[in-house]
Amino acid sequence: MTAPRILYHHRTAAEDGQAVHIRAMLRAFAAVGADVREVGLVRRDTEQPEPTPSNADEKGGWSLVGSAPRFVRELMEHGYSGLARRRLLAAARDFDPHFIYERYAFGNVGGVAAARRCGRPLFLEVNSPLVDELERTRGLSFEGLARRSERHVLENADRICAVTGVLRDLLVDLGAPRERVIVTPNGVHPDQYAAPGDAGARARAREDLGLGGPADDSDEVVLGFVGYYRTWHRLDLAIAALAAPELAHARLVLVGDGPARAELEASASAHGVTDRVHFAGPRRHAAIPAVLPAFDVALVPAINAYASPLKLHEYMAAGLPTIAPDQPNLREVLVHEREALLVAPGDADAFAAALVRLAGDGDLRRRLGDEARRQIDVQGLTWEANARRVLDEARTIGALEERRPLDTRSNAVRNSA
């Protein structure tokens, strides 16, 4: 049987979690036997934590967009649809894909246009309700155009891959046909994570983070967070809790950086815990699995209502118990007292009580952590499982059936599968 051929399309700079997701899915599609051609619309740094496939098409510049005035930026984002369509059609003519897999980007209707033109299905990966998100975080100069473009893409994609069930419901409200939306949560590559209790991995992680020796003979408990610090991440909850007498033996380790660092340092000083809050600095994503064994408890103090937090699945793969907010998108993965302790969002007292409970109960930490690691396999929270979900759906709609070669010069009619 011919290997599934996937044209993978994105418009993403390779410097953040979006690029991690892209590389992970490219690797996963290849691992499950697909032949993948990447079409990117931006230039990416050649020094990548994980190298991109050698068959990636040449990418165009995007370096001026971030510094442009808002209305100019939006026009450029919408304007890239034409370039997207041309590049996708050129790649499709050469590669003859079974389907196009596109990471949804604000203002981009090029994938829909190319899929319609060449008669191949479009799988659209959506990680957030982008128009709503951008209107809230940066404002929009052309909101009407943005909403029409988003609805057009959601209505015309053959399948939509939403990262949570909560997001699926939001997308349906925005115009996506419910029967076309599947849930593909963020995942991990499990083989990258050391088994819980690996003393060597723990010692190396502690040394990497500047925590000193293995501390296995002491009662020190390391509370850990990985990510970009913003105010809304509510790391202040962990710092305030650290002042409790019951947590005198605990240390908070923050791996990453971000605009909230100064206020977190001020909070640590105000609570008298500066000596027990360790800012370990950022790490390349490929290095994260190696530092997680230094943690005893992992933290997700706050997350938005529709996200599938990558850090959560990484914590689980490392066999770590997690404290997280009790909200619908996280309850899709977590069960209170099965692999995590869930607390009311923003409740400082509840968060502190959960920290005290886990810091004081090693048996509970081990039980929750072991189950967290097991749930990665049980729930299929891996990138390869996501790739299989997509291919299974492609088979369902007949996308993997052999077809005659494309002729993108003709008035090709989009397959109705």
pLDDT per residue as tens digits for the range 198-232: 999 999 999 999 997 655 556 899 999 999 999 99
**d(Cα 256, Cα 130) in Å, to the nearest integer?**
25
Instruction: Summarize the confidence of residues 86-101 as an average pLDDT.
Output: 95
Cα-Cα-Cα-Cα dihedral of 113, 114, 117, 120, to 10°?
-120
Note whether 150 and 29 are same-domain residues.
yes
- Which residues make Cβ contacts (< 8 Å) with residue 275, sequence separation at least 6? none
Note whether 211 and 303 are same-domain residues.
yes
Is the per-residue pLDDT at 417 higher than 80? Answer: no
- Residue pair 202/293 in contact by the 8 Å Cβ criterion: yes
pLDDT per residue as tens digits for the range 155-164: 999 999 999 9
Among 133-137, 289-293, 379-383, name the one with the lowest average pLDDT.
Answer: 133-137
Looking at per-residue pLDDT, the higher value among 413 and 362 belongs to 362
The 8-class DSSP code of residue 382 comes to B
Q: Tokens 């997680």 appear where? A: 292
**d(Cα 117, Cα 29) in Å, to the nearest integer?**
24
- Which residues make Cβ contacts (< 8 Å) with residue 95, sequence separation at least 6? 5, 7, 37
For helices 310-317 and 362-378, give the axis angle rounded to 10 degrees. Answer: 110
Domain count, the chain: 2
Note whether 289 and 156 are same-domain residues.
no
* DSSP string over 106-162: TT--HHHHHHHHHT--EEEEESS-HHHHHHHHT--S-HHHHHHHHHHHHHH-SEEEE
**d(Cα 117, Cα 96) in Å, to the nearest integer?**
13
Q: For residue 70, what pLDDT is reported?
A: 83
Note whether 163 and 199 are same-domain residues.
no
In a domain, 182, yes or no: yes
Q: For residue 59, what pLDDT is reported?
A: 41
Note whether 214 and 359 are same-domain residues.
yes
Q: For residue 17, what pLDDT is reported?
A: 76
Q: For residue 80, what pLDDT is reported?
A: 82
Phi, psi at residue 61, to the nearest 5°?
Answer: -75, 155
Note whether 195 and 175 are same-domain residues.
no
The 8-class DSSP code of residue 348 comes to H
List the Cα angle 328/334/338 in 5-degree steps. 140
| Arithmetic mean of pLDDT over the chain | 90
Q: In what order do the strands lie in the sheet with 122-126?
A: 35-40, 5-10, 99-103, 122-126, 159-162, 181-183
Q: For residue 264, what pLDDT is reported?
A: 97
In a domain, 64, yes or no: yes
Note whether 101 and 139 are same-domain residues.
yes
Note whether 14 and 133 are same-domain residues.
yes
In a domain, 407, yes or no: no
In a domain, 234, yes or no: yes
Is the per-residue pLDDT at 88 higher than 70? Answer: yes
Is the per-residue pLDDT at 409 higher than 70? Answer: no
Q: For residue 216, what pLDDT is reported?
A: 53
**d(Cα 310, Cα 22) in Å, to the nearest integer?**
13
In a domain, 411, yes or no: no
In a domain, 272, yes or no: yes
Note whether 64 and 183 are same-domain residues.
yes
Domain that holds residue 318: 190-378
In a domain, 403, yes or no: no
Among 61-65, 198-202, 311-315, 391-395, name the one with the lowest average pLDDT.
Answer: 61-65
**d(Cα 359, Cα 317) in Å, to the nearest integer?**
20
- pTM here is 0.90
Note whether 349 and 200 are same-domain residues.
yes
- In one-letter notation, the amino acid at residue 329 is N
Q: For residue 47, what pLDDT is reported?
A: 37
**d(Cα 8, Cα 30) in Å, to the nearest integer?**
12
Note whether 168 and 194 are same-domain residues.
no
Is the per-residue pLDDT at 68 higher than 90? Answer: no
- Residue pair 241/351 in contact by the 8 Å Cβ criterion: yes
Is the per-residue pLDDT at 50 higher than 90? Answer: no
List the Cα angle 119/122/123 in 5-degree steps. 160
Note whether 205 and 182 are same-domain residues.
no
Domain CATH code at residue 256: 3.40.50.2000
Q: For residue 13, what pLDDT is reported?
A: 64
pLDDT per residue as tens digits for the range 271-294: 999 999 999 999 999 999 999 999
In a domain, 162, yes or no: yes
CA 5 to chain centre: 24
